[in-house]
């Protein structure tokens, strides 16, 4: 039987799910109506917090999908991302422009990571 554990379970979703040695995070957003820099930093802080809760960290990220409400924010997000992710640990990553669910949100980051 495969190990399955849910963290921060709500009525609609769990913030993190561990299946075997893989961690799946729900999409993380920063504070709505804040600047793209603040929203990106907030989303990355939540990712770090959830990974820490399950016993992993950002160096163990496998894949990341970044959704932006405006692709014009791509360079600003990359500047913050590049300072956050340790050299040599970059995951497979994609980024695109979509309409983010919820007013005032300009970025949502979805991750999959490995456990140690």
- Name which of 116, 95, 115 is nearest 25 in CA terms: 115
Q: What is the pTM of this model?
A: 0.95
Q: What is the pLDDT of residues 7-63, one digit of tens each?
A: 999 999 999 999 999 999 999 999 999 999 999 999 999 999 999 999 999 999 999
Q: What is the pLDDT of residues 57-115, one digit of tens each?
A: 999 999 999 999 999 999 999 999 999 999 999 999 999 999 998 899 999 999 999 99
Strand order in the sheet with 22-25: 4-9, 14-19, 22-25, 107-114, 61-68, 92-97
Number of domains in the chain: 1
Please give the pLDDT value at position 101. Answer: 87
Please give the pLDDT value at position 2. Answer: 67
Question: Residue 82's domain spans which residues?
Answer: 4-114
Domain with 98 in it: what CATH number?
Answer: 3.30.1330.40
């Amino acid at each position: 039987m495969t190990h399955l554990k849910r963290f921060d379970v709500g009525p609609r979703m769990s913030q993190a799910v561990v299946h075997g040695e893989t961690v799946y995070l729900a999409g993380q957003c920063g504070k709505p109506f804040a600047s793209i820099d603040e929203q990106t930093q907030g989303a990355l802080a939540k990712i770090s917090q959830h990974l820490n809760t399950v016993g992993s960290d950002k160096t163990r990220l496998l894949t990341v999908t970044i959704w932006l409400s405006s692709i014009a924010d791509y360079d600003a997000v990359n500047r913050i991302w590049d300072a956050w992710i340790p050299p040599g640990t970059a995951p497979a990553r994609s980024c695109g422009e979509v309409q983010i669910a919820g007013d005032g949100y300009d970025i949502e980051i979805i991750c999959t990571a490995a456990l140690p």
